[in-house]
């Protein structure tokens, strides 16, 4: 008995000295967007921070068709995290636009930065406003994407129908290639600025961005409250010598409602604790703001994110 007791005590002592058992790795997938957009490289920067700053965390940034697909992926439990436009979130949560049923298996983590609607034409194009695109071939975003929804919103406020524009449903990279080859006359990008696809084109082609006049921007913001007025500063792209007026939505990080509170808390905390590193990895990281992170989204926040924001008195 004594020998058994001694061996037992020695065993307990060894366990104590070894410390707590390491936590099992947390494997997550972050749905981003196409390689020519902002979501994919920004998502990669997010994943690197989480993987290096949170013990046992393993987040993989996955290329996708962007907002609409990301919402469906997270609700089908194929991914745990996603980057999504705020308008697409609203449509999905409330079964509007192309969403025929409510998708509510997701919650907000943080509003990240504004995504600006940019309508690109050749410098010599006769088009001076969106209305002038009537009859032209236009890249309007991937089918069901947030960009494609913005295209339909623009049609609406300008009093135009789908038949008025020869819509080409293309990703940003596809639009860029088609524009270079002069197969389309214009294309629309809703993304953070500067956008890689537009930057690439501007190095070899003279381009312009179409202004959305203040009255039309106000009309858009009234009819679609998730839109707000925005500016593309001069020199954002090569040859862009003047500021351009337009509108924007928000890029939002969302999580599956089934993700544990402590996991989302760690993700949120690491995001803000390491903002400087995020900003050095991607320019959009500099636009992250604790006060803005809790505004401009119409779906509920995840309890893990709420815990962090309440600690910081931001919510």
Mind listing the pLDDT tens digit for each residue in 264-288? Answer: 999 999 999 999 999 999 989 999 9
User: What is the predicted pLDDT for the residue at 21?
Assistant: 38
The pLDDT tens digits of the residues spanning 37-91 come to 889 999 999 999 999 999 999 999 999 988 889 999 999 999 999 999 999 999 9
Query: CA–CA separation, 168 vs 172, rounded Å?
Result: 11
Q: What is the mean pLDDT of residues 155-175?
A: 95
User: What is the predicted pLDDT for the residue at 123?
Assistant: 96
Instruction: Let me know if domain 26-113+251-311 sits in CATH 3.40.190.10.
Output: yes
Query: Can you name the CATH fold of 115-249?
Result: D-Maltodextrin-Binding Protein; domain 2 (3.40.190)
Q: What is the mean pLDDT of residues 226-230?
A: 85
Indicate the average pLDDT of the chain.
Answer: 90
Domain boundaries, the chain: 26-113+251-311, 115-249
Q: What percent of the chain has pLDDT over 70?
A: 92
* Its pTM surpasses 0.85: no
User: What is the predicted pLDDT for the residue at 146?
Assistant: 81
Give the lowest-confidence range in 95-99, 102-106, 197-201, 307-311.
95-99
Q: What is the mean pLDDT of residues 213-241?
A: 90
Question: Looking at the predicted structure, is the pLDDT value of residue 303 above 50?
Answer: yes
User: What is the predicted pLDDT for the residue at 227?
Assistant: 86
Question: Looking at the predicted structure, is the pLDDT value of residue 125 above 60?
Answer: yes
């Amino acid at each position: 008995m004594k020998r058994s007791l001694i061996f037992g005590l020695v065993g307990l002592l060894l366990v104590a000295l070894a410390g707590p058992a390491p936590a099992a790795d947390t494997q997550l997938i972050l749905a981003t967007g196409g390689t020519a957009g902002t979501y994919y490289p920004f998502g990669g920067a997010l994943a690197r921070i989480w993987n290096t700053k949170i013990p046992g965390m393993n987040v993989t940034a996955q290329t996708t068709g962007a907002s609409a697909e990301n919402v469906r992926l997270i609700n089908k439990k194929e991914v745990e995290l996603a980057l999504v436009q705020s308008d697409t979130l609203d449509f999905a949560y409330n079964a509007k636009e192309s969403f025929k049923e409510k998708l509510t298996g997701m919650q907000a983590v943080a509003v990240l930065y504004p995504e600006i609607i940019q309508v690109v034409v050749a410098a010599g194009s006769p088009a001076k406003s969106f209305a002038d695109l009537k009859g032209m071939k236009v890249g309007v975003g991937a089918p069901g994407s947030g960009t494609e929804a913005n295209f339909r919103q623009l049609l609406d406020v300008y009093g135009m129908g789908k038949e008025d524009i020869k819509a080409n449903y293309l990703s940003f990279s596809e639009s860029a290639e088609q524009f270079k080859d002069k197969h389309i006359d214009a294309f629309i990008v809703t993304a953070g600025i500067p956008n890689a696809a537009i930057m690439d084109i501007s190095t070899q082609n003279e381009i312009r961005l179409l202004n959305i006049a203040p009255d039309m921007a106000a009309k858009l913001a009234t009819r679609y409250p998730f839109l707000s007025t925005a500016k593309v500063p001069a020199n954002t792209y090569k040859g862009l010598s003047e500021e351009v007026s337009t509108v924007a939505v928000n890029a939002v990080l969302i999580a599956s409602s089934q993700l544990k509170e402590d996991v989302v808390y760690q993700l949120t905390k690491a995001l803000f604790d390491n903002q400087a590193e995020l900003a050095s990895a991607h320019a959009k990281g500099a636009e992250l703001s604790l006060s803005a992170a809790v505004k401009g989204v119409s779906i509920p926040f995840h309890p893990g994110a709420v815990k962090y924001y309440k600690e910081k008195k931001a919510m």
